[in-house]
Amino acid sequence: TGVTSVAVGGALVLTNVNAIGRSTYDTQSGPAGTLSFSTLTTATFGGLQGANGLVLQNDSAAAVALSIGGGNVSSSFSGGLSGPGSLTKVGTGTAALAGASTYGGTTTLVGGALQAGDPAALSTGTITFSGGRLQYTAASAATDWASRIVASGSAIAIDTNGDRKST
């Protein structure tokens, strides 16, 4: 639990999918150490915070499927996600993404709320609902993600500033 960060010049090498599954990883907002997914292709974080970006790719350049919200943690991340990986929101908390992202994989909502605070917060891939809800903010209110929502296994839940809608 708590916050995990890496000091300048340091490195954190993840070798267990749930190594920081209940902790918020802080990418920080200035010089920082490095995070390595090593050979992992999946990882769970409690949350994300900070302004530096995070690359969803392991040391072999393979995609990393990142789940955030482990332990029902809520967090706010102003950096961007990039690389070939994907993002899944789990748990009951809220994950706020305020930066533009370019990750190549899907966005999946399983639990809680995924708050898009930037029109490019969810990159350009497909969006799937298996629970949870997508939450718009003033910054993303004009964004139309409808054409990207595919094959959802549960109700599609959209929250427009506290006005929850499901289909």
pLDDT 10s digits, 31-59: 899 999 999 999 999 999 999 999 999 99
Mean pLDDT score, 117-135? 94
Give the pLDDT of residue 160.
78
What is the pTM (predicted TM-score) of this model?
A: 0.93
Q: Out of 80-89, 106-115, 141-150, 151-160, pick the least confident.
A: 151-160
For position 146, what pLDDT does the model report?
87
Residue 125 in this model has a pLDDT that exceeds 90? yes
Interval 100-115 mean pLDDT: 96
> What are the tokens at 142?
């004009």
| pLDDT score of 138 | 87
Q: What is the mean pLDDT of residues 54-74?
A: 97
What's the mean pLDDT in 103-111?
96
Per DSSP bridges, beta strands 42-49 and 75-77 are: unpaired
Q: φ, ψ for residue 154 (rounded to 5)?
A: -150, -175
- Write down how long the chain is: 167
Residue 60: how many other CB atoms lie within 10 Å: 9
As a whole number, the mean pLDDT across the chain is: 93
Residue 91 DSSP one-character state: S
